[in-house]
Amino acid sequence: MRILAFGDIMGRIGRTAVKEVLPELRREIAPDLVLANGENLARGKGITPNTIREMHEAGIDLFTTGNHVWNRKEYHEVMTDPELRELVIRPANYPPDVPGRGSKILTIGTKNVLVINLLGRVFGEVHCRDPFRTFDGLLEEHADRNPAAVLVDFHAEATSEKVAFGWYVDGRASAVWGTHTHIPTRDERILPGGTAYITDVGMCGFADGVLGITKEPVLRHFLTQLPVRHEIPERGPTTVEAVVVTLESDGRAGSIGHVRRALTIE
């Protein structure tokens, strides 16, 4: 089984870039499942019904998210609509009465695959539950479905927390990839217990800025410490970053590789 997972898709330019690159990657990789972090789909922060539908139609099977998923009021429609809520999960360690779900079982061929979304706590803005023990609880909750593979998007600021989580779930998760920082760490490896791991996948967005944002306002903020409005261009140099994980029949990872495509959106 091959899994293709995109890093955070930033705004319209990121959506356009993924739509251009995904057909080629499908031909090259032939993934059985395509995932993407979608918390930045709508103007760089948040999700909307239209952006989810657009990228699902482009070939994304399921969207993970993070702390920015709530930044647009349309999140409620996505999380409660009977069709859309099947396409999106949010971090599982939010309080239980938060809209949406934190994990999902997908059937790939004859096998069940458990996808989990978790939010880190170190340097974070959200007072969420312990992601480590939340993972334990989700494994127990879904044990009766006997998942052949367990995939985790760990959305977090701190590299130390991501690395620690990778070791904590080694041998129990098939793959763990970090998102949120928009910078690929390129430390992809197979841990001793058979878990594919990378600290951060990177992003899909504007390449000549700061984390997908036009650089001038960000520089002005660092120089003056005054608030600025973040701007995301719709054209220009763009990067698409993802990981490809190959899983063996026993659920262990056979390989993990980083994917990067550079293109210019006109």
Segment holding 139, helix H or strand E: helix 131-141
pLDDT tens profile 59-80: 999 999 999 999 999 999 999 9
Q: Write down all domains in the chain, each with its CATH number in brackets.
A: 2-265 (3.60.21.10)
Token pair 């979304």 in the structure block, residue: 117
Entry pTM: 0.96
In 127-249, which ranges are continuous DSSP H helix?
131-141, 159-169, 215-224
pLDDT at 125 over 90: no
Q: Distance (Å, rounded) from C-alpha 18 to C-alpha 4?
A: 12
Write out the two tokens for 208: 């000549």
pLDDT tens profile 147-195: 999 999 999 999 999 999 999 999 999 999 999 999 999 999 999 999 9
pLDDT at 126 over 90: no
pLDDT at 226 over 90: yes
Instruction: Give the residue numbers marked as catalytic.
Output: 68
CA 161 to chain centre: 16
pLDDT tens profile 33-45: 999 999 999 999 9
Identify the burial level of 105 via C-beta atoms within 10 angstroms of its C-beta, where 0-12 means exposed, 13-18 middle and 19 or more buried: exposed
In 135-235 the beta strands, taken as DSSP E runs, fall at: 149-155, 175-179, 189-190, 196-198, 203-206
The residue-averaged pLDDT of 23-27 equals: 96
140 — pLDDT class (breaks 50, 70, 90): very high
